[in-house]
């Protein structure tokens, strides 16, 4: 069964600190993996995308890693800011079916305190 599991479910950190969010998936055959940021009451916005051959991708203070062998990804946030408070969703796309659907994790709810 194709699944995406994220941990931790929620995380509280102080402003300026770093944190790492985890994503494990069983989606096969794998096409790509995205991290989305979803602010409260808003739609998700894509942060990074990685394909099978990529193992790291940065977008400002966000750095995503991918280990396609172990089917794990992480999102590292450096020097956190209050505006980083949001849900971070791991989304994996398959390429096997004619549909090529997306599989969503439940997200990690990050809260940054001043």
Partner 1 sequence: EADIYQTPRYLVIGTGKKITLECSQTMGHDKMYWYQQDPGMELHLIHYSYGVNSTEKGDLSSESTVSRIRTEHFPLTLESARPSHTSQYLCASSMDRDWGLHNEQFFGPGTRLTVL
Site for partner 1 in 62-91 (CB under 8 A): 89
Backbone φ and ψ of 23, nearest 5°: -145, 125
Q: Of 33, 66, 88, 107, which one interacts with partner 1 (CB under 8 A)?
A: 107
Site for partner 1 in 30-59 (CB under 8 A): 31-32, 34, 41-46, 49, 51
The yes or no reply on residue 28 touching partner 1 (CB under 8 A) is no
Least distance CB 11 / partner 1 (angstroms): 14
Query: What is the spatial distance between Cα 26 and Cα 20, in angstroms, rounded to a whole number?
Result: 20
The yes or no reply on residue 24 touching partner 1 (CB under 8 A) is no
Stretch that binds partner 1, among 12-20, 67-75, 77-85, 99-107 (CB under 8 A): 99-107
Query: What is the spatial distance between Cα 54 and Cα 21, in angstroms, rounded to a whole number?
Result: 18
Sites of contact with partner 1 (CB under 8 A): 4, 9, 31-32, 34, 41-46, 49, 51, 89, 93-95, 98-102, 104-107, 109
């Amino acid at each position: 069964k194709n699944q995406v599991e994220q941990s931790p479910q929620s995380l509280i950190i102080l402003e300026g600190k770093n944190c790492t969010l985890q994503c494990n998936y069983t989606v096969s055959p794998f096409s790509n993996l995205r991290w989305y940021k979803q602010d409260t009451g808003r739609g998700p916005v894509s942060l990074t995308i990685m394909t099978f051959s990529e193992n790291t991708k940065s977008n400002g203070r966000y750095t995503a890693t991918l280990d396609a062998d172990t089917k794990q990804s992480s999102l590292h946030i450096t020097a956190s800011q209050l505006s980083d408070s949001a849900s971070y969703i791991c989304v994996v796309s398959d390429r096997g079916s004619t549909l090529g659907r997306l599989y969503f994790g439940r997200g990690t709810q990050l809260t940054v305190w001043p």
